[in-house]
Structure formats: C-alpha cells, structure tokens
Amino acid sequence: NAGVTQTPKFRILKIGQSMTLQCTQDMNHNYMYWYRQDPGMGLKLIYYSVGAGITDKGEVPNGYNVSRSTTEDFPLRLELAAPSQTSVYFCASRGQGYGYTFGSGTRLTVV
C-alpha cells in the first residue's frame, strides 16, 4: 500500500501565482485533512472532508480551497499565493480508527 501520496514534494511560487497540491490515498478512508505546519506553531487544520462531496473549513482556511470528488483524492488549491502561505503542507487520512495516516508533505515557498 502506498498510503497517502502528496505531490509535489517541493515548490517555489511567486506572489500572486496559483497552484494545486495533490493528495491521494489508497486505503478507502472516508476522512481526509489538510494541515500546514510552521516552525513552533504545530499543525493547523486548513480544510477537512468526511467523505466524497463533503468538505468543511478548519482553523486557517483563508486563501485556500478544496474539493473531494472521489474517496481517493483531496486536492488543495492556493489562489493568489502570498508569503504567509510559505509552509509545509501535510495531507492526512483516517478510517474508522483513531489514528491519522500522514503523507510526506509538500514544502512550499512563496517569494
């Protein structure tokens, strides 16, 4: 099993550009999440989904959008990138158990 796969691993964006961070899981998990991790700030929830077609905002949704058209995929869209969005982004999924399975992350720098 691949688990949770995130692409790309690294990206540099210019201010005002847009991009989509891809996330795919092959565990048939209903719950999927996007977090950002900043130094000393822990993991902050951006958006989450409890199943295909259902998404909701987390703590820090501004500047981001998501969609969940299939169980497997949960892409995160950044519109009009800003330096404040420089961070490491983690996608995670969860089945009926407690634990999250995280992807390996996307390191994004906005310059």
When the beta carbons of 41 and 111 are compared against other proteins, the nearer one is 41
Q: Is 103 in the site for other proteins (CB under 8 A)?
A: yes
| Side chain identity at residue 107, one-letter code | R
Nearer to other proteins, 13 or 92 (CB): 92
Site for other proteins contains 62 (CB under 8 A):
no
Nearer to other proteins, 14 or 97 (CB): 97
Binding mask 74-93 for other proteins (x = CB under 8 A): ----------------x-x-
CA 69 to chain centre: 15
Q: Give yes or no for a contact between 88 and 21, defined as CB atoms under 8 angstroms apart.
A: no
The closest alpha carbon to 106, from 82, 89, 87, belongs to 89
* Inter-residue contact 50 to 57 (CB < 8 Å): no
What's phi and psi for 69, nearest 5 deg? -85, -20
Q: Which residues contribute to the site for other proteins (CB under 8 A)?
A: 4, 35, 40-43, 45, 48, 50, 58-59, 90, 92, 98-105
